[in-house]
Structure 1
């Protein structure tokens, strides 16, 4: 293990983050066939349950002291996490993964642009709006607008998730806040996606979702945390802006999903708007 850690430590941190980006979208693409077979509610609930279980084993959070402020913060974040996951996987059940991630990315992008007084940020906002129009226009209006609506709901939840994560980070130490919030999300998913369909899910999807949950969010989160310790936040944000492109790539390689030229242009607009917003943001000292 020490030799492996030494070898991994010698790799450029950029490769770690690129691996995290690709791993997250690979896991999402792997989930799509299971979603079509068992439904998005069941698969999403299984993913959250396994992720919470793994983090409980790894993080081993202390149950005490947990005051009302901490419980409230973790609970609200958990509800938001559950809603974000349910919306996203309902979206990828209906539209290509690349399209869903591009629309979902509007959440953090809007948050980054909110309150900005820089004139150039208007350009990025307009470019993002053009990207959404292209993504939802498709070819001959054939895009599933319900799926796009689910992705939009996930985008709203993602923006809220970022704000709530900051708050949880102030009242918890380490990964305890994340662990408790995922436990809340898992508890939400239990009556919605697991208990009503338990007899029809089968053992194979349960085990496959365990493997997928190990990839993402557990593996992805671990890589991202390691990168944030060694990487400047602006550079981190720029590389994370590649997620829509990574999603389209994994959608094609794993699922054979092909995006139209219009959709590819829309995805490119959203990605460029995100890159421009992060790259042009003032450095934090």
Structure 2
């Protein structure tokens, strides 16, 4: 679990290092292609025979993945890795709270709301566009969770994930061709984007599968709370994006709120 979260955020930092040459769009394009090049040969998904009710969540996931990654990287470019990832983390938290009426979950949501206010410190100098992009990434991540759950019920194993990655790569190829025609990539930028794809997509996916075989799902869900902390550390060490005290406090409140909601859901499931 430590390897998964650390790899994910270090990969995001490496991708952000390529923004100067190829921008967020170039990084997302390379990441999508790398994911498909690794997953498709391993899973060997079959496109023939897929029903309409299976294609719908696949196509919706392709759109949601593109929006989520583009908004996240664009947010990172404007407000930094730590803040962007923390805001994005509100997506799964919202999904967890949305169907609940328990006081513990509502309290966790309120704590997260306070954390957002402390984190963003609204004022004249606030980067409203960057924060909005982070919240859009959060919304897309919430949609991703719901769509992935639906797809997992309609296709076995990794089949749905592999088909989604293949369709996403096909959709991004013409975008990549046009983008790189006007934004000549450097070898370093491509290498950083490839590393981002491997460390933020492939390594976490494999590590998560291995972790879920050894720990209960509620432990895994609670442990994902450390992602914003890893993001803040990766931004500080690799991108030289130090955070102010109020930003660390805001991140801490959001991390704690996720732990509260995850533990409450575990108790509800055990009950």
Q: TM-score normalised by the shorter chain: which range applies?
A: over 0.9
Deviation at 1:181, TM superposition (A): 1.1
Contact 1:81 1:182 in 2 (8 A): no
Worse-superposed segment, 140-149 or 86-95: 140-149
Partner of 2:227: 243
Aligned length: 268
Counterparts of 1:49 and 1:202, CA distance in 2: 17
Match of 1:167 in 2: 150
Query: Where do 1:1-285 residues align within 5 Å?
Result: 17-137=1-121, 141-198=124-181, 200-281=184-265, 282=267, 284=269
Gaps of 5+ in 2: none
Q: Give CA-to-partner distance per residue, 1:228-260, whole Å, 9 cap, x none.
A: 122211000111011111110111111121111
Q: CA deviation at 1:211?
A: 2.7
What are the superposed Cα offsets for residues 3-57 of structure 1, whole Å, 9 maximum, x if unpaired?
xxxxxxxxxxxxxx11100000000011112013221111111111111111112
Distance apart, 1:209 and its partner CA:
2.0
Q: Within 2, Cα distance between the matches of 1:30 and 1:233? A: 29
Cα deviation, 1:167-192, whole Å, max 9, x if unaligned, reads 11011112111111122222333333
What residue in structure 2 maps to residue 11 of structure 1? Answer: none
The secondary structure found in structure 2 opposite 1:257 is coil
Question: TM-score normalized by structure 1?
Answer: 0.89
Q: Which residue of structure 2 aligns with residue 12 of structure 1?
A: none
- Asked if structure 2 preserves the Cα contact closer than 8 Å seen for 1:82 and 1:186, the reply is no
**CA root-mean-square deviation:** 1.7
SS in structure 2 opposite 1:93?
helix
Measured in 2, the distance between the counterparts of 1:102 and 1:194 equals 32
Deviates more, 1:100-109 or 1:118-127: 118-127
- Once the two structures are TM-superposed, the CA of residue 141 in structure 1 deviates from its matched residue by 4.7
Deviation at residue 70 of structure 1 after TM alignment: 1.7
Counterparts of 2:137 and 2:153, CA distance in 1: 24
Answer whether contact 1:46 1:194 (CA < 8 A) is retained: no
Q: Is the 8 A contact 2:151 2:160 kept in 1?
A: yes
